[in-house]
């Protein structure tokens, strides 16, 4: 059966994605150390992601949303963390893989867009229009398994000045290829605090649902999530070098020890309480028995 070249390429990318090969390559080029390597072509040296953890993003930047309405970037901040994806809507491959991976991760967690977080995609191509943004948003919302969360998805377009200011603040470096009318860029998403500070970077095109959930919970200053999330955050540590949460065995041992002590303490307290109740009930029964013994025998209660 004959297959179109585009379909073959996409299948190859899909297989590489599932095996982690493509994520590794893209994450590698996203790191500053690769950009400094003299063996890397000059064009790729301009592409990457420099982490600016803790930096404040410029929230007053003007953009246009997917309905054609003029908005400030800060419109989507205030009381919820924000997932930021820097893409462009006519990207032939990589941006789609980024959004595909994000969608899969979001469909695997119980946190809901609009209620627990906002998702903001910003086009790095100043020539793109709100119509393109709306079409891309609608396409991905079809695959989102929480239809009532659509209000939390926002796809923006902007001027060169706004795009440059935002990408520079995030540390997202890219290059325009005029001969192909395309952009060379790295892949990844960012989690931003409700106040607009960069909290987490996740590299590549596949994002662990656990890591994304923990990143959102931590970025919200524990404003969302459950007690289990708080326990996981104590046992897992975010590693900026890899953009992932890693298991902390020492913290796990400490947590397990504390829980064991609390459990033992609770068990002992319960046993002592039951024992006191038992002694009290035994004393009452003894008194009741003694009261029934005739006093003339000299052994009853007077």
For residue 211, what are the contacts with CB-CB under 8 A and spacing of at least 6?
Answer: 202, 244, 245
CB atoms within 10 A of CB 288: 10
**pLDDT on residue 267:** 74
For residue 289, what are the contacts with CB-CB under 8 A and spacing of at least 6?
Answer: none
CB atoms within 10 A of CB 152: 22
Look up tokens 């029934």; give the residue: 292
**pLDDT on residue 233:** 43
Phi and psi (nearest 5°) for 289?
A: -65, -45
**Residue 39, Cα to own-chain centre: how many angstroms?**
34
63: its two tokens: 């953009």
State mean pLDDT over 135-153. 95
Residue 97 has pLDDT above 70, yes or no: yes
Whether the CB-CB separation of 217 and 225 falls below 8 Å is answered with yes
- The closest alpha carbon to 119, from 90, 92, 144, belongs to 144
Q: Which residue has the higher pLDDT, 18 or 107?
A: 107
What is the percentage of the chain residues whose pLDDT exceeds 90? 51
- The closest alpha carbon to 157, from 68, 236, 90, 228, belongs to 68
176-210 per-position pLDDT tens digit: 988 889 999 999 999 999 999 999 999 999 999 99
Q: Supply the pTM of this predicted model.
A: 0.68
What is the percentage of the chain residues whose pLDDT exceeds 70? 61
CB atoms within 10 A of CB 7: 9
45-56 per-position pLDDT tens digit: 689 999 999 999
127-143 per-position pLDDT tens digit: 999 999 999 999 999 99
Q: Which residue has the higher pLDDT, 175 or 275?
A: 175
Residue 272 has pLDDT above 90, yes or no: no
Residue 170 has pLDDT above 90, yes or no: yes
56-91 per-position pLDDT tens digit: 999 999 999 999 999 999 999 999 999 999 999 999
State mean pLDDT over 282-298. 58
DSSP 67: T
């Amino acid at each position: 059966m004959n297959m179109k070249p585009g379909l073959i390429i996409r299948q190859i990318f899909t297989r590489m994605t599932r095996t982690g090969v493509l994520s590794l390559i893209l994450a590698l080029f996203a790191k500053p150390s690769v950009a400094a390597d003299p063996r890397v072509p000059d064009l790729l040296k301009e592409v990457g992601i420099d982490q600016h953890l803790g930096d404040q993003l410029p929230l007053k930047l003007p953009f246009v949303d997917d309905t054609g309405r003029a908005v400030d970037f800060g419109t989507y901040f205030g009381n919820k963390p924000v997932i930021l994806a820097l893409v462009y809507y006519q990207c032939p491959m990589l941006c789609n893989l980024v959004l595909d991976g994000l969608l899969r991760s979001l469909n695997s967690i119980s946190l809901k867009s609009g209620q627990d977080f906002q998702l903001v995609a910003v086009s790095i191509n100043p020539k793109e229009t709100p119509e393109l943004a709306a079409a891309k948003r609608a396409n991905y919302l079809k695959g989102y398994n929480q239809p009532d969360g659509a209000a939390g998805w926002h796809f923006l377009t902007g001027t060169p000045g706004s795009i440059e200011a935002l990408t520079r603040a995030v540390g997202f470096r890219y290059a325009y290829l005029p001969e192909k009318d395309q952009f060379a860029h790295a892949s990844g998403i960012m989690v931003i605090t409700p106040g607009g500070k960069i909290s987490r970077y996740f590299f590549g095109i596949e994002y662990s649902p656990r890591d994304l959930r923990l990143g959102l919970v931590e970025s919200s200053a524990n404003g969302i999530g459950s007690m289990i999330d708080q326990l996981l955050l104590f046992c897992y540590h975010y590693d900026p070098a890899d953009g992932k949460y890693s298991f902390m065995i020492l913290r796990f041992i400490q947590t397990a020890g504390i829980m064991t002590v609390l459990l033992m303490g609770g068990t002992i307290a319960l046993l002592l309480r039951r024992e006191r109740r038992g002694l009290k009930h035994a004393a009452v029964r003894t008194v009741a028995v003694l009261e029934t013994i005739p006093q003339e025998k000299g052994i009853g209660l007077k």
